[in-house]
Amino acid sequence: MKRIAVIGAGIAGLTCAYELSEAGYEVVVFESRAQVGGRMSSRTTNEFIFDLGADHLCNLYEEMKGYCAKFHIEWEPMRFLRYGVFREGEIRSMQDVIGPLSKARLALQQVLTRNVGDFFNLSELANHDSGDAYSFMRRRAGKEVADYLVDAFTSTYQFHRADEISVGALMGVMKSIQRDQKKWDLHRTKGGMQALPNAFAERLDVRLNHHVQEVVTGTHVTVDGELFNGAVLASPATVTKQLYKNPSTEQREILDAARYATTISVALKIDRENLPDTAIVWVPFVESEKISGYVNEAMKGEEVIHDGKSLVCTWLHEGFAKTLMNQPDKDVFSQVKQEFVRVCPWVNDVSEVESFDLERWPEAMPKFYPGSLKRVNTYLDGPGQGAQNVFLCGDYLNSPWTEGALRCGQRVAQQVIEKLPA
């Protein structure tokens, strides 16, 4: 039986490890943290569930839904789904945040956008990796659309500006929203985001609190001196660079090219009666250079409401997050609450908002910047992937969000099976 090491117990690594284990491999998963899940993890404090990274899922996540059904994890729809965009002191609907001319120009772009490929596998969109999303949409639909929809969407879900994301990724999202519509309805796994990672881990040999020091290739792949036939490096690219001591030229180049956006997820506690049934609010950079968006956790149902209180989880724009990254928690809460009150009409004063919990993410999301889709696609089609029996795995390989990372784990498992048959 061939032994495979998987470094990193995020959703990509866990999915890959599970598929390899099901195919008959002996798999050992190494994780530096005390729990699995990575950016798909949760923390429960005083009965409140705080999803630390990814906050919600959508019905478009077909592969994730399949695993949830297999492991008997309840896939729940959110109780309400209304979106809002903060503009000029108020929260407006998506339909009302831009004017009639902007709406007409945006509708034309949606009609002109072809079925370019699957957003969760951006390698399919590499042929459209020809510039940045902000410039493209400002040129085609105007500044209002670029600022209040495209840039707002990007910074809410990626934490960086739209001039750092490829137009190929934008086209993939636009076509999917147009084509799939209701499948974008938000869902969650009952018990928090941690449910699926835990289910994978229960079926695997996972070594928690294990900080891998080195991965070295030779006649075998060694992980801190332990012998394996191959290894899947499912840690962030920056971590992989540190522990992988002798990568191939192609592997080194793709790791060097990876970039990440920074954010801090800050959970605030508020009286439920003060929260309207609006699920998510985007805060465009032109309105705030600090908070990029916030989520009304009450949308997840009674499980997340206690003693008449619920959480609002805020995300920070990359630049602001970097200024707070090394500051004490109390200073982070203080500055975030002041800005939150300014961009949230639901509350009138800082005294109405309680500090609850926060999680720092120096490498929150990969940046699918212009040119990166082609670069990653070339790497995946070339000799680098699987060189020296080492396979790279993770969302930075053209695999956005939790569904993309999960599918990347599936693909890498198949690559291992093809190169190193059990």
Q: What is the mean pLDDT of residues 84-111?
A: 94
pLDDT in tens, 273-289: 999 999 999 999 999 99
Q: How far apart are CA 220 and CA 226, in angstroms?
A: 9
Asked if residue 221 has pLDDT above 80, the reply is yes
Measure the CA–CA gap between 92 and 94, rounded to whole angstroms: 7
Taking 3-state DSSP, the helix, strand and coil percentages for the chain, each rounded to the nearest 5, stand at: 40, 25, 35
**pLDDT at residue number 377:** 98
Other CB atoms within 10 Å distance of the CB of residue 344: 23
In contact, 64 and 402? CB cutoff 8 Å:
yes
pLDDT for the residue 253: 98
In the chain, CATH 3.50.50.60 covers 3-40+193-259+368-419
* Torsion region of 257: left, alpha or beta (phi above 0 gives left; psi -120 to 50 gives alpha): alpha
DSSP class per residue in 286-315:
TT-SSEEEEEEGGGG-GGG-BTTEEEEEEE
pLDDT at position 407:
98
3-state secondary structure 222-274: EECCEEECEEEECCCHHHHHHHECCCCHHHHHHHHHCCEEEEEEEEEEEEHHH
pLDDT of the residue at 318: 97
Distance between CA atoms of residues 184 and 180, nearest Å: 7
Give the per-residue pLDDT at 179. 87
| Ranges of CATH 3.90.660.20 domains, the chain | 42-61+186-191+260-366
Domain with CATH 1.10.405 in the chain: 98-178
| Reported confidence tier of residue 370, pLDDT bands at 50, 70, 90 | very high
The CATH architecture that domain 3-40+193-259+368-419 belongs to is 3-Layer(bba) Sandwich (3.50)
Query: 158 Cβ partners below 8 Å, 6+ apart?
Result: 165, 261, 365, 367
Give the pLDDT score at 84. 97
Question: Which pLDDT value is given to residue 116?
Answer: 79
- Alpha carbon distances (Å) from 163 to 23, 137, 166, 318: 42, 10, 8, 13
Share of the chain above pLDDT 90, in %: 93
pLDDT tens per residue, range 298-340: 999 988 999 999 999 999 999 999 999 999 999 999 999 999 9
Ramachandran assignment for 343, one of left (phi > 0), alpha (psi -120 to 50 degrees), beta (any other): alpha
Distance separating alpha carbons of residues 294 and 211, to the nearest angstrom: 33
Q: What is the pLDDT of residues 149-206, one digit of tens each?
A: 999 999 999 999 999 999 999 999 998 988 898 899 999 999 999 999 999 999 999 9
pLDDT (0 to 100) of residue 111: 84
For residue 161, the 8-state DSSP code is: -
What's the pLDDT band for 113 if we cut at 50, 70, 90?
A: confident
Residues 65, 68, 69: CA angle, nearest 5 degrees: 90
The predicted-structure confidence for 233-290, as pLDDT tens digits, reads as follows 999 999 999 999 999 999 999 999 999 999 999 999 999 999 999 999 999 999 999 9
Q: Does domain 42-61+186-191+260-366 have CATH number 3.90.660.20?
A: yes
Phi, psi angle pair for 192, to nearest 5°: 105, 170
Q: Which helix (H) or strand (E) holds 364?
A: strand 354-366
In percent, the amount of the chain with pLDDT more than 70 equals 100
Fold observed for domain 98-178: Guanine Nucleotide Dissociation Inhibitor; domain 1 (1.10.405)
Per-residue pLDDT for 92 more than 90? yes
Q: What is the pLDDT of residue 181?
A: 86
pLDDT tens across 114-141, in order?
Answer: 777 899 999 999 999 999 999 999 999 9
Q: How confident is the model at residue 390 (pLDDT cuts 50, 70, 90)?
A: very high
Check residue 112 and give its pLDDT.
Answer: 83
Bridge-based pairing state of the strands 57-58 and 48-51: unpaired
Write down the residue that tokens 């609850």 correspond to: 356
Mean pLDDT over the full length of the chain: 96
Distance CA 230, CA 419 (A): 10
Confirm if 235 and 7 have CB atoms less than 8 A apart: yes
Q: How far apart are CA 294 and CA 344, in angstroms?
A: 9
pLDDT of residue 183: 93
pLDDT at 394 over 90: yes
Residue written as tokens 């498992």? 413
